[in-house]
Amino acid sequence: MDAIKEKYDAKKTVGADGEPKVRKPREPKPPKEPKKPKKEPKDDEVDEVRFA
């Protein structure tokens, strides 16, 4: 069992060419478009809701 575990640990830390594995940074995702409200409330509608 120890031999298997050693093999597994060695695979985790060292790449195929003997170099330690280094994670490649991901390409940054493009910024998401902000969601637009379906309907723009009118000013008096907003006030009615706020103070109702």
The 10s digit of each residue's pLDDT in 1-52 is 788 777 766 666 555 566 666 677 777 777 777 777 666 656 565 555 555 5
Its pTM stands at 0.20
Length of the chain: 52
Instruction: List Cα–Cα distances, 51 to 9, 21, 46, in angstroms.
Output: 64, 60, 9
Task: Provide the CA 2 distance to its chain's centre, in angstroms.
Answer: 36
Give the residue from 26, 27, 24, 4 showing the smallest Cα distance to 15: 24
Rounded to whole angstroms, the Cα distance separating 35 from 51 reads 26
CB atoms within 10 A of CB 44: 8
